[in-house]
Amino acid sequence: MRSPDVLRARQSLAPYARPAVAVDLVILTLVEGALHVLLIRRGESPFEGRLALPGGFLRVGDGQEDQGEDLDLAAARELQEETGLASEDVLLEQFATFGRPGRDPRMRVLSVAYYALVRPELALRVRAGGDAAETRWEPVAELDGHSLAFDHGHILQVALARMREKLDTSALAFSLVPERFTIPELRTVFSAVKGEPQDPGNFRRKVKRLVEDGVLEPAPGVRRTASKPAALYRFRAS
Amino acid sequence: MRSPDVLRARQSLAPYARPAVAVDLVILTLVEGALHVLLIRRGESPFEGRLALPGGFLRVGDGQEDQGEDLDLAAARELQEETGLASEDVLLEQFATFGRPGRDPRMRVLSVAYYALVRPELALRVRAGGDAAETRWEPVAELDGHSLAFDHGHILQVALARMREKLDTSALAFSLVPERFTIPELRTVFSAVKGEPQDPGNFRRKVKRLVEDGVLEPAPGVRRTASKPAALYRFRAS
DNA sequence: GCAATAGTGTCTTTAAGACACTATCAT
DNA sequence: ATGATAGTGTCTTAAAGACACTATTGC
């Protein structure tokens, strides 16, 4: 075996072959109380005709001066290209990088994966279904993991697992409701992400604590519903 | 702006320039109750003479048939090369990927970062300080973030933040104590990672719950200490 | 009026935090 | 015996869960 020093020398002088690097997006929103993910029908091989996560290759410059775009910027650019949404309106967060050899049969490709949480009102604006590229919202719960192209089913599962971890300890949930939202709306998000219904009374108590702690604040107006109108709240950036 | 379809076509036919991809390791252990990270004194430009995280380039094959090594395997290989430790004896987990343009002045380099948690008994075996490459354990608390090469100070901070998040909700802590450990030993891990002392009585209660829940089990023997010997426990893989 | 759901209140259990106290070792 | 620390017990508070109940709307 070569010693580490020899390895290091070889690397700086004559680098190994490089992998292609893609940035893939798990774009999620809530439609009628259920998590939906934005998928694209692939029009070319491999996995032609299969659904896949939107994404694209990282732009790398051609030298020391121009080294290309940041990963977060690449994710924002892809989001814009695929949905027309600006990254300021969406929670966009890197969560893992996937690189198993063979995951793309053509060549070695690493995928730096981001999840993007889109408010329901913005999700409506996404050109879905009408495009040539055939972009569409698919309900996460009804997806067969094996139906997605590449390892995208796995990537989706990892994204969901991470979101479940962070749901209670971050501001993540507030990115899946309108900017001004009701407590029941927020409860729907928790129910959908956790996959089990949340008790209305207990959930309300939890949200009320957030208000007392200054995380949320009451917002003017009410939301008209099928029954009793509900009070509005908003997230305090502070 | 080019349409997405045109972009996709260009990419598959003539891929953009590719970044170099490194796998860097935040190798941590506990020495005398304090978190220590394994660092290497760089012997070459850039950042010659500065301390850096150990790591190396991902091995990518040269075609469709040989696509090279998996990311996890690359991390395990680097760990073995730098410390002599086998990945089975260490908790090795990817936590983020860093790719800011300019982070390496020579060229565009992505770094897929892993943390590696090493039991104190194994840490002693690591050839530290005696090598030509000058590998050494540095106390995390005393490190000036700006003293590390590249963005490695930042990478270290992200690793620690992630560990703090997962400490209470994963088996992470059990990888920083001997396979058979005492409650005070485990408490030291929590104190070091959280950065604040843990109450002995309350902490013991928490561990006892883990025993009742079958996460831990009593182990034979006792640990002799400077005072009263302590009972041993072990993590139940199950 | 009635269905639906926003919103309130209560009781119980669990866990965290503060902290006093006892037990058992090495020296 | 004494210092150190393993280990126990108690009191308080915060939060989760189960669940009964009231209030206000659209229809």
pLDDT tens, residue by residue, B215-225: 999 999 999 99
- Picking from B20, B71, B133, the nearest residue to A15 by CB comes out as B20
Protein residue at shortest CA distance from C1' of D15: A206
Q: Name residue, tokens 């977060």.
A: A72
Q: Does residue B229 lie within 7 Å of nucleic acid chain C, judged by its CB?
A: yes
Contacts of B17 in chain A (CB under 8 A): 60-62, 68
**Which stretches does DSSP call E strand in chain B?**
20-31, 34-41, 51-52, 55-57, 91-98, 109-117, 135-139, 180-181, 216-223, 230-235
Query: Helix or strand or coil: residue B93?
Result: strand
Contact criterion met (CB < 8 Å) for A71 and B165: no
Q: How far apart are CA A183 and CA A200, in angstroms?
A: 9
Q: How far apart are CA B148 and CA B42, in angstroms?
A: 10
Find and list the nucleotides of strand D having atoms within 7 Å of a protein beta carbon. 3-10, 15-20, 23-27
| Tokens read off for B149 | 């090469």
Find and list the nucleotides of strand C having atoms within 7 Å of a protein beta carbon. 3-10, 15-20, 23-27
Protein residue at shortest CA distance from C1' of D23: A228
In the predicted model, is pLDDT for residue A6 greater than 50? no
Domain ranges of chain A: 4-166, 178-238
- Picking from A97, A165, A169, the nearest residue to B71 by CB comes out as A97
What is the CA B230 to C1' D4 distance in angstroms? 13
Which nucleotide lies nearest residue A231, CA to C1'?
C6
In the predicted model, is pLDDT for residue B6 greater than 90? no
CATH superfamily of A4-166: Nucleoside Triphosphate Pyrophosphohydrolase (3.90.79.10)
Burial of B90-112, coded b for 16+ CB within 10 Å and e otherwise, reads bbbbbbbbbbbbebbeebbbbbb
Best CATH choice for the domain A178-238 from the list 1.10.1200.10, 3.30.70.270, 1.10.10.10, 2.40.30.10: 1.10.10.10
CATH topology of domain B177-238: Arc Repressor Mutant, subunit A (1.10.10)
| Tokens read off for B12 | 């598959």
Residue A129: the pLDDT is 54
* Distances B91 to A152, B37, B85, B164, B171 between C-alpha atoms, Å: 26, 14, 11, 15, 10
* Distances A184 to A139, A191, A223, B48 between C-alpha atoms, Å: 20, 10, 10, 57
| Edge-first strand listing for the sheet containing B230-235 | B180-181, B230-235, B216-223
- Name the nearest CA neighbour of B65 among A108, A152, A149: A108
Protein residue at shortest CA distance from C1' of C7: A201
Would strands B20-31 and B55-57 be described as parallel, antiparallel, or unpaired?
A: antiparallel
Give the mean model confidence (pLDDT) for residues A100-123.
96
Q: Place A71 in a pLDDT band, splitting at 50, 70 and 90.
A: very high
Contacts of B56 in chain A (CB under 8 A): 4, 7-8, 11
Q: Which CATH class is domain B4-176?
A: alpha beta
Q: Place A64 in a pLDDT band, splitting at 50, 70 and 90.
A: confident
- Name the nearest CA neighbour of A110 among B153, B105, B65, B71: B71
Q: Are A56 and B8 in contact (CB under 8 A)?
A: yes
Same fold, B4-176 and B177-238: no
